[in-house]
Amino acid sequence: MDIMKLLPAGKDYLWGGTRLREEFGKNIKMTPLAETWECSVHPDGPSIVANGKYAGMTLAEVLDEHQEFLGSKVEPGENGRKELPVLVKLIDAKRDLSVQVHPDDRYAREHEGQNGKTEMWYILDAAEDASLIYGFIHPVSGGLLRSAIQEGTLDKHLQKIKVNKGEVYYVPAGMVHGIGAGTLVAEIQENSNVTYRVYDYDRVDKNGKKRALHFDKAVEVMDMGIAPDVSSQHRFVRYYPGGSRETLCRCRYFVTERVQLTHGFAFSVLEESFQILLCLDGEGGIEAEGRNPVRFRKGDCLFLPAGLGRCYVIGETELLKVRC
Ligand code: ZN
């Protein structure tokens, strides 16, 4: 059982930029480079192990062989096998993403053979005028949405929020949303790749084709009520010698913490869950008793198997720490 450094899969979606290569050291020759799937067992973008005994294998293969690395809290699926329930991404939105919605587990499993998608965004950077779409400003109906989309007036019903670096947004399945141009995001989500596009700004892709919209399914899964108020984010940061920790999001699918280190900190990876570390800034090293130490820097993602035990991180760095 070792700490695994991961190599991501890249996505060249039309709205992406080049910052993941330029600022996060991603060695992926795609332009644009819209997303990197940093910790993923999804067949649409699997992560590869970069170091140690499992180097060259996909994370999915390793976890299929070593189900115990996932931990006791991860429930087996219908086939009796456990799989990683989360997917961690970096997203560089040079242009607006489509206005979209994701189904919940029940709908997605029935119609798409995948999990649903609840997601969380941690804003890594935002341009002066950057905004995002977060639910509706008043209750809507399927009929109203249909005509609004046909008439191009969907905007009138959507909540548009100015977005700032360091903010956190929780996006449950069913909430209409869109990441806006000029935003760099770390996304933690369920292990799923089901997106129903509602509106795509009439854009065409590199082949001159408009991307498909999925209006009927979107309306079926969409929450038509008013979006929650996010004008004040209640945040609780715990400071201690060597750094600070803050829980950004706790939902039934994952717990995400932000860890900011000036020196170092110690934590335990218990039998109940794996942990994922994503380095957002600076650099450092991690050591677990009896294991090979691993160095990391901005942009690196590490998978820590469940039961790894006591770990020590040193460095001047900012990390996201994800478990289930
Ligand atoms: Zn989404």
CA distances from 267 to 245, 289, 299, 300 (A): 11, 12, 21, 19
CA 322 to CA 190: how far, in whole Å?
12
Alpha helix (H) residue ranges in the chain: 19-22, 59-65, 105-112, 142-151, 215-221
Using omega within 30 degrees of 0 as the cis cutoff, is the peptide bond preceding 32 cis?
A: yes
Give the model's pLDDT for residue 302. Answer: 98
What is the value of pTM for the model shown? 0.96
Distance 79 CA to ligand 1 centre (A): 27
Distance, CA 91 to ligand 1 centroid (Å)?
Answer: 11
- Mean pLDDT to the nearest integer, 107-119: 96
- Tally the C-alpha atoms within 13 A of residue 298's C-alpha that lie toward its C-beta: 12
Residue 232 pLDDT > 80? no
Selecting among 197, 245, 258, 323, the annotated active-site residue is 197
pLDDT score recorded for residue 321: 98
Distance 307 CA to ligand 1 centre (A): 32
- Pairing assessment for the beta strands 237-240 and 196-199 based on DSSP bridges: unpaired
- Token representation of residue 91: 């997203």
Distances (CA, A) of 216 to 143, 149, 197, 198, 268: 11, 12, 10, 9, 46
Q: Tell me, what's the pLDDT at 60?
A: 98
197 is catalytic: yes
Q: What is the mean pLDDT of residues 309-321?
A: 97
Query: For residue 102, how far is its CA from the centre of ligand 1 (angstroms)?
Result: 6
How much is the pLDDT for 28?
97
**Distance in angstroms (rounded) separating the CA atoms of residues 308 and 311:** 8
Q: Region 311-320: what's the mean pLDDT?
A: 97
pLDDT higher than threshold 90 for residue 91: yes
User: What are the C-alpha distances in Å from 293 to residues 29, 301, 307, 312, 314?
Assistant: 29, 14, 16, 9, 11
Centre of ligand 1 to C-alpha 222, Å, is 12
pLDDT above 70 covers a percentage of the chain that reads: 99
* pLDDT at residue 94 in the model: 98
Which pLDDT band, with edges at 50, 70 and 90, does 121 fall under?
A: very high
Section 178-182 average pLDDT: 97
**Running DSSP on this structure, what letter comes out for residue 204?**
B
Average pLDDT of the residues in 226-245? 86
Is the pLDDT score of 233 beyond 80? Answer: no
pLDDT given at position 211:
86
Model pLDDT, residue 290: 86
Q: Model confidence over 24-75: pLDDT tens digits? A: 999 999 999 999 999 999 999 999 999 999 999 999 999 999 999 999 999 9
Q: In this predicted model, what pLDDT tens digit does every residue of 251-281 receive, in sequence order?
A: 999 999 999 999 999 999 999 999 999 999 9
Q: How far apart are CA 198 and CA 135, in angstroms?
A: 13
